[in-house]
Amino acid sequence: MTITTGHFRLFAIVCGLLVFAAASYRVWQLSTQPVGDTWTPAIYAPGLEATADKLEVLVSGVPLAKAVAEQQLSMATNGNMVAVKGSDIRIRLNNESAIRAASVSAMLGYAALAGGGFVLLVIGLLTPMIGAFRQHGLIDLHLTT
């Protein structure tokens, strides 16, 4: 089965347009969709000890870990004042940048697909002009050995 120039042009235009449109829509969709809940879920929130190398919480200018160790913090439970323990403290972190960064690889793939579809579309549109550059009537020389 051979594809004539007219069939190739139609194939390139239609497929190029469809691939370009679908991939471009997906790139736009990934870049504009809301991230949703970006905070670490409470059940997975690490304790104060696990995040000591990443952040430091100050309470009245005193590091929170030090205030807890010296029992300077207290909370009221059932009308009684109880010292806050280190295990009572959980840290929830905002992971929006990590969630957004995770979608970059998919966006790059769809952008490459959109670029390929655009190139196919341009080739389909410019096929008659490309054919005009071909010189007709050239003689092919076949040298025999």
Contact partners, residue 117, CB within 8 Å, separation at least 6: 15, 16, 17, 18, 19, 20, 21, 22, 23
Q: Which amino acid is at 139?
A: I
Q: What is the pLDDT of residues 41-55, one digit of tens each?
A: 878 888 877 777 778
Q: What is the pLDDT of residues 18-34, one digit of tens each?
A: 999 999 999 999 888 88
Q: What is the pLDDT of residues 38-97, one digit of tens each?
A: 788 878 888 877 777 778 888 878 888 888 888 887 888 888 888 878 777 788 888 888
Residue 90 pairs in a beta bridge with 47
